[in-house]
Every structure is written in C-alpha cells, then in structure tokens.
C-alpha cells in the first residue's frame, strides 16, 4: 500500500531505520560484552520488539504488568517489572510466576521488602527481587551507600524472597547537555550499581544481577565492568529528544505521524494539519533543550525534513505548522490534502496514542503491527 493512501493521522514505522538502530546498539553492547534486556515500554508490540531481542524468551523489562501479560502470551518468559512494586499488584505477580514467567520485581524500601517477603513465604514462591539504586537523585531508589540497602537485602534473603541483584536507571541522562556529560553519567550509573552490589556481597549475600540502563547511557557507555545487563528501549525508534541529546541523528528516527494539510492561515503564518496533540501526544520534551522542536519536526511524505518547519502548537486534532522563530523562509506551498510526516519528541509518548504501526518497507506500507496501551 502506498503511504499516500492512508486515512490520516497514522503512525508510520520505518523498518530499515529501526533495524539499523537495533544493529548499532547490538554491536555496541556486544563490544562491551554485556547483554541487552530490551525495555518494551516503547514498542509495546512483539513484532517491533523481536528484532532487538537476543532470544524469543527474552530477557525484557516491562513498565506495566499488562506488558508482562502480553509478552508472556507471545512466548517471553524472562521479564523484569521495572517499576516499584505495590501491594495491589503482588497477587498478579505471583499469578504470572505460577503460569511460568520468570518475573522479577523491584523495590527500594524495607516496608516493600517485608511485604514481598511475607507474600513470597505465604505463596511458597521465592519471588525474585532487584533492589532499586538511586544513582543520580532523579527518581526512586536507595543510595548505594545507604545503610538500608543492606537491611533490605538481608530481609529479603532471610524471609522467603530471592535477592537477585540491583538495578538502576540514570534518568538524569535525559538532562545532559553534552555527549561527554552522558558518558560521565553512564560511568556514574555503572559505578553506583556495582558499588551497591559489592556492599550486598560483602555481607555474604548473593547478588548475581547488576542491571543498568537508559538509551543515552547505553549508547555512550565506554565500559561496563561489573554490569550484567543493560536496559534500554527508546533506541529502537529514537525521537527528537534523543536527537537533541546527540544520541541519534534526525535521519535515524524510525517513527513518524502521517498527517494531511487541512487548512491555511497565511496571515498568521500557519498551515493546519489533522494531527494534533492526540496524535503527537502532549510531550514537549525538547522544550528544555537547545533547540525546541515544538510538537515535532515536519518532513515530506518521503521522510525528508522540511527546513525550519515545526508543529508550533497543537489542539486535540489540529496541529499548527509554522516556520521557526527567526526563519526568513516563506511558508512552503503545501496545498490542501498534502501528506506530511511529523517526527515526534518522544517515541514512548507518541506511540502510546496509536493502536498500530503502519510499517514502511521499500517505500510501501508492507505490514500493520498491532500495539497496545493501558494497564
């Protein structure tokens, strides 16, 4: 099918770009001698995830138990649920484990360790647990030097759960200003996780897993001694935030929203399209970067960037395209019905607005892959 025949808006996935992104990360991590645990929160689709997975059974990381259910239904059994566990999800976790998922949970408090250990003992299931480490002050986790890290580890070990290891995520890498800063953040992430694991081992606990990751740090990590796995997900598609960080080029971005011109407001300097924030998402992740890309960078339907044209504002189903501030270029001639592609700020957020990918292969929409959202 010609992408020009799509009823807009639609989510387009450029398969060759995706496969190149996957191969680049694979080669990089292979060189560092560390396997990837693909984070599937970006793709939420078995067809898009599979090329990045070493084996059909995983490993993967998930951000929701719905992702765990879906990927288990598609044959994946090695799954890390990478969001702090909460009481109302434990029965669901135990049920997934009973059904054959090697599902590990994450926690960062003694309260949570008590809860998980109690449930594990009652269910006669030594639930696998990773302790979350705070490597950058960005979100959750235990500081690697915190006394409670050892209390948590000891409690899990002594009361019926399995301390599998530690995990951390350098979310602060998204705020780095240079690739050197990302490289330093990768080392900070590695060092925090390795240090935490060492402390647990020093008191006699096994701690086989040392899990780190974010797409920026995974991309720029120079060495990963002591790390046993890297988690990343956005690199499969990339997006404008990653391009702004220097993690990819605009031409690497595999995801775009196909949209149609529905109107012109020449006196305002605007072209109106039928992709608004419902299609692009409300993510404005480039707003704090050196180049603010608005709601997205505008390309022609072949995927070539149109210079100085971005989506500067968005209503629910209307996008407003305009020249960048300071641009001297006139508005391009894009008649009613012209099809365009918009590169998104954030692949996870834009992807989540759609229930399928239209897969571009050799210039044609060669496949439609279902994806899911929700909990």
Residue 281 in the binding site for its own copies (CB under 8 A): yes
Give the span between the Cα atoms of 207 and 201, in whole angstroms.
Answer: 6
Binding footprint of its own copies, residue count (CB under 8 A): 63
Residues contacting 345, CB < 8 A, separation 6+: 239, 240, 241, 280, 281, 283, 284, 285, 286, 293, 295, 296
Name the phi and psi angles at 152, rounded to 5: -65, -50
Residue 330 in the binding site for its own copies (CB under 8 A): no
Provide the H-helix boundaries in the chain: 15-32, 46-49, 65-73, 90-98, 110-123, 147-158, 179-202, 215-220, 240-245, 277-280, 347-351
Token output for 9? 């808006």
User: Could you give the string, one character per residue 6-35, with x where binding to its own copies holds by CB under 8 A and - elsewhere?
Assistant: xxxxx-------------------------
Minimum distance between the CB of residue 180 and its own copies, rounded to whole angstroms? 24
Q: Is the peptide bond before 128 cis (omega within 30 degrees of 0)?
A: no
Give the span between the Cα atoms of 117 and 126, in whole angstroms.
Answer: 8
Among 153, 183, 283, 344, indicate the residue that binds its own copies (CB under 8 A): 283
User: Could you give the string, one character per residue 147-166, with x where binding to its own copies holds by CB under 8 A and - elsewhere?
Assistant: --------------------
Instruction: Pick the closer one to its own copies by CB: 2 or 158.
Output: 2
DSSP letter string, 159-182:
TT-EEEEEEE--GGGGG-SSHHHH
Residue 240, CA atoms < 13 Å, CB-side half-sphere: 29
For 112, other C-beta atoms within 10 Å of its C-beta total: 23
Instruction: Pick the closer one to its own copies by CB: 59 or 141.
Output: 141
Residue 294 in the binding site for its own copies (CB under 8 A): no
**Binding positions for its own copies, 116-145, rule CB under 8 A:** 134, 137, 139-140
User: Could you give the string, one character per residue 209-238, with x where binding to its own copies holds by CB under 8 A and - elsewhere?
Assistant: ------------------------------
**Binding positions for its own copies, 78-97, rule CB under 8 A:** 83-89, 92
Among 318, 331, 367, 369, indicate the residue that binds its own copies (CB under 8 A): 318
**List of residues contacting its own copies (CB under 8 A):** 5-10, 41, 63-65, 83-89, 92, 107-109, 111-112, 115, 134, 137, 139-140, 171, 260-265, 268, 272, 274, 277-279, 281-284, 315-318, 320, 335-337, 339, 348-349, 352-355, 373-375
């Amino acid at each position: 099918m010609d992408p020009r025949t799509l009823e807009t808006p639609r989510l387009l996935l450029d398969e060759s770009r995706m496969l190149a992104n996957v191969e680049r990360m694979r080669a990089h991590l292979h060189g560092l001698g560390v396997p990837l645990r693909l984070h599937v929160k970006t793709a939420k689709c078995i067809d898009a995830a599979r090329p990045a997975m070493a084996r059909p059974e995983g490993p993967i990381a998930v951000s929701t138990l719905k992702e765990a259910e879906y990927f288990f239904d598609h044959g994946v059994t090695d799954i890390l649920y990478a969001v702090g566990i909460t009481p109302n999800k434990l029965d669901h976790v135990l049920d997934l484990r009973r059904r054959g998922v090697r599902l590990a949970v994450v926690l960062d408090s003694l309260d949570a360790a008590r809860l998980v250990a109690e449930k594990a003992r009652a269910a006669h299931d030594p639930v696998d647990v990773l302790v979350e480490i705070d490597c950058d002050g960005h979100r959750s986790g235990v500081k690697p030097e915190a006394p409670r890290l050892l209390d948590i580890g000891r409690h899990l070990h002594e009361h019926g759960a399995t301390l599998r290891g530690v995990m951390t995520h350098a979310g602060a890498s998204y705020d780095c200003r240079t690739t050197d800063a990302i490289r330093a953040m990768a080392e900070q992430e590695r060092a925090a996780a390795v240090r935490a694991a060492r402390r647990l081992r020093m008191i006699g606990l096994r701690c086989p897993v040392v899990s780190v990751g974010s797409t920026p740090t995974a991309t720029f990590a120079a060495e990963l001694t002591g790390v046993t796995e890297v988690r990343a997900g956005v690199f499969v598609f990339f997006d404008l935030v990653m391009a702004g960080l220097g993690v990819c080029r605009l031409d690497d971005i595999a995801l775009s929203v196909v949209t149609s011109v529905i109107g012109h407001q020449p006196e305002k300097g605007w072209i109106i399209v039928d992709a608004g924030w419902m299609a692009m998402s409300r993510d404005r992740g480039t707003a704090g970067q050196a180049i603010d890309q608005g709601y997205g960078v505008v390309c022609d339907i072949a995927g070539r960037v149109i210079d100085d044209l971005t989506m500067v504002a968005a209503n629910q189903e209307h996008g407003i395209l305009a020249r960048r501030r300071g641009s001297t270029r006139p508005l391009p001639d894009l008649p009613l019905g012209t099809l365009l592609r918009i590169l998104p700020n954030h692949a996870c957020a834009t992807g989540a607005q759609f229930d399928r990918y239209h897969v571009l292969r050799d210039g044609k929409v060669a496949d439609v892959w279902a994806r899911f959202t929700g909990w």
